[in-house]
């Protein structure tokens, strides 16, 4: 049976370590080239066998490093076999060809292109798009996100000469830890990997390590070249570059307003001329209506009522309406395309993806693929490296999107004078209306749909816990499930919903947590520090559990942990007083810690100018917890008062404004 491997290399000046672990077993191969032993023949034989078997190598950032080293070893096997210090030769290759390439002002120029690599690769770093600045994540950061047992950085500098077995054992242990955590990422990414394997086979495009935007770009190009009958290489050279975008020329003809505030906003939009090469600050407008400040910008429209807890009751209801696939459908319905592409062909293809996706069950991977294509195309139109690049196409969507949404806003408040706006956020809005005006609300939405040729999806909330437009908890009104088994099954699958039995009916209410209230299903690149805080807030606002009680019940030390990292010229150190003696210990770049009764002060220092900043202000002490240890919760010495204060501060900020929910008083 063919075996695939998770792998990692460590290269030091006179030591090379390679660790491979089978993807579906605990089988592990360790190769060492050092003064203590020389396994160069073994690793060459192993790599050649992988090449013959077409075994995959799974790695973290392997395309830019580990796969390059493997290729170097294979292409220089005879030389390395006859060299008394093969580790030094590998180290020189890494320093001269890989590390120097990373530092090049022209960007990395790798010795071996992806298509030249002999052994098939899946780079989990690339696949998850952690090379994107917005999601930038090291393996250590992801280890923290996965609650990995040992967040460890390389214990020795790469220039260290390995003289002892103890030093060698440290490197091997570190490398094994990296491989095991990479294997965990592999396990969490299996569905995504299988999808990319299937796409690679179906379309003949190497998508094994492709991020979602790259999948979108490659598959859109595949279908578009067939439709336009042009060569893919020619298509990928196309761009539409603009020197200016005159906003009044791209506003849709149906955009008209009645209220003075929105009339003024529209006039301000029409005065704007955008320089696509310098967009910062080019669109920044705001208005205040019915107590809600709404901001307009290049990214969309955002507005929210005062923080507070808003509830539906027998007289009023919170309506939520989102535009279905808003940005894709704006382009499709209005026949927009990047300027260098045939509009009919582009929109027909774009609409085909949209319509086909509706026919495919959500569990089918192809549904997800089409979703990627639909959602990524807008972003790629603003990417100079994409054949979809046309900043005017981007601006048509984002500007008309926010104006169309505000048109719906105006139509609702004009038709329902008692309506109270709660939020407007990019592709949807939330509004409190009298319950007896639901039909009026739906009629207005239908009129808007006919005017814009767009579709709305609606939900009703029993509660909206609002901090601001990006941070809130929404709880839907209760819905009925057909039987007890369905009800129990949903509870098992989604424990954070709200469940109740009423008059023999099995009811549930779905919840949506956004921003700093999120605590489930977090993407691995996100900072999951202090999960105990959003969990406690959810229990308090949604289930009515007192904060003190929740903290008494939550004994998971990782929920109390924070994660932070230093970059560039910054480094961490912990300062402690032990038996009356002041001690300072330099820490690694990524640290996991919690606030404790006894411990140290963790401080970040700048090695150039000496600036410093405390990880936690005030008298609070911290305990580094990079390595998970088996202890009782009490033994950790967690300062729960710190977390209680943070939770109560959030509650106070939300509840500080008295919210009058009854519109008729």
Could you read off the pLDDT of 27-71 as tens digits, one per residue?
999 999 999 899 999 999 999 999 999 999 999 999 999 999 999
Here the tokens at position 185 are 């990422």
Distance CA 601, CA 166 (A): 31
Average pLDDT over residues 83-106: 84
CB 620 within 8 A of CB 642: yes
pTM above 0.95, yes or no: no
Q: What is the structure's pLDDT at 664?
A: 29
- In three-state form (DSSP H/G/I as H, E/B as E, the rest C), the secondary structure along 234-280 is HHCCCCCCCCCEEHHHCCCCCCCCCCHHHHHHHHHHHCCEECCCCCC
CB 155 within 8 A of CB 171: yes
Distance CA 496, CA 455 (A): 30
Q: What is the pLDDT of residues 388-432, one digit of tens each?
A: 999 999 999 999 999 999 999 999 999 999 999 999 999 999 999
* Cα Rg of the chain (Å, integer): 29
Using DSSP's 3-state secondary structure scheme, residue 59 falls into strand
**CATH 3.30.420 residue spans of the chain:** 5-210
Q: What is the structure's pLDDT at 656?
A: 76
Burial environment of residue 306 by CB neighbours within 10 A (0 to 12, 13 to 18, 19 or more) = middle
Q: What is the structure's pLDDT at 101?
A: 66
CB 151 within 8 A of CB 143: yes
CA angle 44, 42, 36 (to 5 degrees): 120
Here the tokens at position 643 are 């977390």
Here the tokens at position 531 are 């999960």
Q: What is the structure's pLDDT at 1?
A: 66
Is the pLDDT assigned to residue 100 strictly greater than 90?
Answer: no
Distance CA 506, CA 635 (A): 42
Q: What is the pLDDT of residues 182-197, one digit of tens each?
A: 999 999 999 999 999 9
The residue count of the chain comes to: 665
- The β-bridge relationship of strands 621-624 and 456-468 is unpaired
Average pLDDT over residues 559-588: 91
% of residues, the chain, pLDDT over 70: 97
- For residues 101 and 326, the model is more confident at 326
Q: What is the structure's pLDDT at 274?
A: 93
Using DSSP's 3-state secondary structure scheme, residue 392 falls into helix
Q: What is the structure's pLDDT at 149?
A: 97
Per-residue confidence at 538, pLDDT binned at 50, 70, 90? very high
Is the pLDDT assigned to residue 624 strictly greater than 60?
Answer: yes
DSSP letters, 442-453, are: HHHHHHHHHHHT
Identify the top-confidence range among 244-248, 279-283, 577-581: 244-248
Q: What is the pLDDT of residues 216-236, one digit of tens each?
A: 999 999 999 998 888 999 999
Cβ atoms < 10 Å from Cβ of 141: 21
First to last CA, the chain: 75
Distance CA 602, CA 616 (A): 8
Average pLDDT over residues 99-106: 62
Is the pLDDT assigned to residue 472 strictly greater than 60?
Answer: yes
The CATH classification number of 5-210 equals 3.30.420
Per-residue confidence at 158, pLDDT binned at 50, 70, 90? very high
CB 355 within 8 A of CB 487: no
Average pLDDT over residues 591-605: 95
Is the pLDDT assigned to residue 488 strictly greater than 90?
Answer: yes
Cβ atoms < 10 Å from Cβ of 351: 17
Q: What is the signed CA dihedral for 214, 217, 223, 229, rounded to 10 degrees? A: -130
DSSP letters, 558-627, are: GGG-EEEE--TTEEEEEEEEETTEEEEEE--SEEEEEEESS-BEEEEEETTT--EEESS-TT-EEEE-SB
Q: What is the pLDDT of residues 498-516, one digit of tens each?
A: 999 999 999 999 999 999 9
Q: Which of 1-5, 433-437, 630-634 has the lowest mean pLDDT?
A: 1-5
Q: What is the structure's pLDDT at 665?
A: 27
Is the pLDDT assigned to residue 662 strictly greater than 90?
Answer: no
Q: What is the structure's pLDDT at 661?
A: 38
Angular region, 113: left φ>0, alpha ψ -120 to 50, beta rest: beta
Is the pLDDT assigned to residue 552 strictly greater than 60?
Answer: yes
Average pLDDT over residues 101-109: 60
Element (H, E) at 393: helix 391-415
Here the tokens at position 139 are 């393996």
Per-residue confidence at 108, pLDDT binned at 50, 70, 90? low
The strand pairing partners of 507, in sequence order, are: 480, 500
Q: What is the structure's pLDDT at 583?
A: 87
Is the pLDDT assigned to residue 105 strictly greater than 70?
Answer: no
Mean pLDDT for the chain? 93
- The β-bridge relationship of strands 57-59 and 5-12 is parallel
Is the pLDDT assigned to residue 660 strictly greater than 70?
Answer: no
Q: What is the structure's pLDDT at 279?
A: 82
Q: Which of 100-109, 110-119, 309-318 has the lowest mean pLDDT?
A: 100-109
Q: Give whole-number Cα distances, 49 to 29, 33, 553, in Å.
A: 13, 19, 53
């Amino acid at each position: 049976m063919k075996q695939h491997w998770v792998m990692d290399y460590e290269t030091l000046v006179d030591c090379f370590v390679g660790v491979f672990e089978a993807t579906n077993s605990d089988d592990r191969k360790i190769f060492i080239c050092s003064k203590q032993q020389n396994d160069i023949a073994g690793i060459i034989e192993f790599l050649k066998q992988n090449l013959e078997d077409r075994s995959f190598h799974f790695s973290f950032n392997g395309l830019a490093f580990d796969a390059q080293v493997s290729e170097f070893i294979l292409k220089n096997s005879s030389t390395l076999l006859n060299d008394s210090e093969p580790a030094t030769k590998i180290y020189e290759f890494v320093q001269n060809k890989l590390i120097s390439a990373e530092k090049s002002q022209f960007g990395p120029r790798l010795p071996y292109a992806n298509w030249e690599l002999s052994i098939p690769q899946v780079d989990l770093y690339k696949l998850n798009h952690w090379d994107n600045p917005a999601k930038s994540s090291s393996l250590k950061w992801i280890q923290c996100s996965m609650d990995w047992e040992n967040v460890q950085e390389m214990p020795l500098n790469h220039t260290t000469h390995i003289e002892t077995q103890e030093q060698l054992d440290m490197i091997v242990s570190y490398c094994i830890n990296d491989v095991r955590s990479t294997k965990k990422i592999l396990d969490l990414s299996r569905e995504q990997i299988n999808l990319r394997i299937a796409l690679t086979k179906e379309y003949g495009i190497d998508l094994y390590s492709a991020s979602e935007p790259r999948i979108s770009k490659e598959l859109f190009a595949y279908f578009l070249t067939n439709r336009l009958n042009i060569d893919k290489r020619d298509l990928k050279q196309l761009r539409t570059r603009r020197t200016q975008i005159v906003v009044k020329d791209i506003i849709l003809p149906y955009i008209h307003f009645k209220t003075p505030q929105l009339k003024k906003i529209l006039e301000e939009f029409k005065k704007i001329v955008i320089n696509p090469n310098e967009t910062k600050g080019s669109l920044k407008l705001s208005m205040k209506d019915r107590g809600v400040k709404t901001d307009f910008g290049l990214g969309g429209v955002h507005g929210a009522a005062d923080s507070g807890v808003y509830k539906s009751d027998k007289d009023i209801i919170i309506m939520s309406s989102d535009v279905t696939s808003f940005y894709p459908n704006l382009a499709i319905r209005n026949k927009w395309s990047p300027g260098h592409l045939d509009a009919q062909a582009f929109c027909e293809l774009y609409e085909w993806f949209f319509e086909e996706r509706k026919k495919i069950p959500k569990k089918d991977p192809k549904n997800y693929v089409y979703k990627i294509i639909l959602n990524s195309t807008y972003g790629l139109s603003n990417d100079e490296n994409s054949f979809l690049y046309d900043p005017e196409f981007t601006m048509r969507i984002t500007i008309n999107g926010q104006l169309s949404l505000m048109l719906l806003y105006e139509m609702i408040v004009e038709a329902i004078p008692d309506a109270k706006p709660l939020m407007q956020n990019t592709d949807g809005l939330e509004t409190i209306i009298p319950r007896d005006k639901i039909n009026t609300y739906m009629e207005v939405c239908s009129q808007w749909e006919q005017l814009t040729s767009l579709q709305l999806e609606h939900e009703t909330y029993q509660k909206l816990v609002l901090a601001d437009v990006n941070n809130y908890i929404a709880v839907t009104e209760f819905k009925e499930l057909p039987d007890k088994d369905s009800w129990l099954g949903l509870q098992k699958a989604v424990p954070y919903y709200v469940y109740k039995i009423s008059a023999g009916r099995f009811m549930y209410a779905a919840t949506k947590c956004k921003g700093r209230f999120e605590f489930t299903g977090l993407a691995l690149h996100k900072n999951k520090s202090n999960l105990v805080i959003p969990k406690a807030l959810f229990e308090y606002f949604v289930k009515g559990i007192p904060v003190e009680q929740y903290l008494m019940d939550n004994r998971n030390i990782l929920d109390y942990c924070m994660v932070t990292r230093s970059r560039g010229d910054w480094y961490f150190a912990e300062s402690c007083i032990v038996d009356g003696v002041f001690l300072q210990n330099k820490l690694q770049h990524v640290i996991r810690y919690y606030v404790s009764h006894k411990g140290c002060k963790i401080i970040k220092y700048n090695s150039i100018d000496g600036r410093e900043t405390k990880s936690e202000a005030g008298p609070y002490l911290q305990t580094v917890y990079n390595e998970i240890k088996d202890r009782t919760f009490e033994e950790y010495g967690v300062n729960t008062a710190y977390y209680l204060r943070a939770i109560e501060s959030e509650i106070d900020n939300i509840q500080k404004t008295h919210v009058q929910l009854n519109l008729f008083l």
